[in-house]
Structure 1
Amino acid sequence: MTAPYPRLRGSKDLWLNAAYELLISQGINAVKVMPLAKKLNLTRTGFYWYFEDISELHSAMVQRWESKNTGNLVDQCNTDAANICEALFNLMDCWLDPELFDARLDLAIRNWARVDPDLKLRLNEADARRIKAVANMFTCHAFSKEQADVRSLTVIYTQIGYISMQVEETREERLARVQHYVELFAGVRPTSEDVDRFLNRHPHH
């Protein structure tokens, strides 16, 4: 017969996932041990099996956000592309695939950073990394440094605007607009092949 302890403890990911859900729905002040234990129907002591204290959980949350959202965005910028439009479509995958980039989590982190100076620094570093990755993408496709810098800011600030304003649009609306955003950011119209390739990997439903 297996011991009941695992059920009482859960797993590290289980606690982290629950913490994310609370962060996204109610903000960082809601992320406390008792509400988490209650949400998971686990014992409070189970939490301390995986985390020394709540601040260690906070660190794990921030680390996971950095590797998921910023890490995936940088990877998408570094994906091989034949032209700038294809490169931008690779980046736009982030805005349509929550597995690549979790916009709700990004908003929750931005809200949390307003009351946490250390996190604000981490957020500024993450935004700088994202902007640099997008700028490098433009530079690789023969844009001048000045153009690459301004275009990367436009791409990232547009997306932060989407996140911060919690813009609501259907998947169909967003898919229909993407090629026009790409044209705007790139300064050239994407080929129908590039558009089709992008749309084919993002079914409407």
Structure 2
Amino acid sequence: MEQEKLGETGWRGSREGWLDAAYESLVEAGVDAVRVLPLSRRLKLSRTSFYWFFADREELLAALVDLWRSKNTGNLVKQTESYAGSIAEAILNVFDCWLDPKLFDSRFEFAVRSWAQQSPDVAREIDAADTVRLEALQAMFIRFGFEPFAADVRARTIYLTQIGYISMKTEETLATRMARIPKYVEIFTGREPTAGEMKRFCARHGYLPSADAAQDAAQ
């Protein structure tokens, strides 16, 4: 009730609040749900308050693309450049993205890729992001001595596998995914992660392996 009164008397919220509401609408129901009136109702704000922060809906949509680009592409590239003592550890740094939505938001990724199917401009953004991400993964392999063509193929194998996970909305328990990760690393790099590398990786994600995890993953 207090929030409604503030809305009625001209409280405008914030740019971040409108953008957060747009994000939630996008990931829940697609880009057609990202419209000013439904967002104002969601926020319990007057419709006119939107225009203090955005010129129009198109500017809001552009801000969503900027947010996606900064979060998903920006963080993925940073992870490929993070310190690693081996290629296996470097891949585990990248895998942090798949397990931590603060680094890489799979729901956001799916929503933007779905949006791209009806927007040529967003489709071009997707193509550009794919190129940047693949180049970053390839450069990571090259740093560890892989020749460029092999590095490119391995980069594509990793990336397309994960985009497939996202597109299929694959769901796994943390235990199942963690049990499979050492084999993914071996397949992608030709090298198994050491026990120490896996221990550090698991610790970053607050995971304690159980004796049954590998058996569960194989089923």
Of 123, 146, 159, the residue aligned with 1:156 is 159
**Structure 1 position 179, deviation (Å):** 1.5
The answer as to 2:79 corresponding to 1:79 is no
**Structure 1 position 5, deviation (Å):** 8.8
Structure 2: unaligned runs, 5 residues or longer: 1-5, 209-219
Number of the residue aligned with 1:110: 113
The answer as to 2:28 corresponding to 1:28 is no
Name the CA shift for 1:7/1:101 in 2 (closer, same or farther; >3 Å).
farther
Name the CA shift for 1:83/1:126 in 2 (closer, same or farther; >3 Å).
same
Number of the residue aligned with 2:199: 196
Kindly provide the amino acid, as one letter, of the partner of residue 192 in structure 1: A
The answer as to 2:54 corresponding to 1:51 is yes
The answer as to 2:147 corresponding to 1:144 is yes
Structure 1: unaligned runs, 5 residues or longer: none
**Structure 1 position 111, deviation (Å):** 0.1
Kindly provide the amino acid, as one letter, of the partner of residue 10 in structure 1: G
After TM superposition, the score normalised by the length of structure 1 is 0.96
**Which aligned segments of 4 or more residues in structure 1 are displaced greater than 4 angstroms?**
3-7
**Structure 1 position 183, deviation (Å):** 1.1
Number of the residue aligned with 1:130: 133
Number of the residue aligned with 1:186: 189
Provide, for residues 136-164 of structure 1, a one-character-per-residue CA deviation record: whole Å limited to 9, x for no partner.
00000000111100000000000000000
Q: CA contact under 8 A between 2:134 and 2:159: conserved in structure 1? A: yes
**Structure 1 position 6, deviation (Å):** 9.3
Number of the residue aligned with 1:97: 100
Number of the residue aligned with 2:180: 177
Q: CA contact under 8 A between 2:7 and 2:45: conserved in structure 1? A: no
Name the CA shift for 1:186/1:6 in 2 (closer, same or farther; >3 Å).
farther
**Structure 1 position 80, deviation (Å):** 1.2
Kindly provide the amino acid, as one letter, of the partner of residue 53 in structure 2: Y
**Structure 1 position 8, deviation (Å):** 2.3
**Structure 1 position 56, deviation (Å):** 0.2
Of 5, 13, 16, the residue aligned with 1:10 is 13
Provide, for residues 39-88 of structure 1, a one-character-per-residue CA deviation record: whole Å limited to 9, x for no partner.
01111011100000000000000001000000000000001111100100
- Seq. identity, %: 48
Aligned equivalents of 1:163 and 1:14: distance in 2? 26
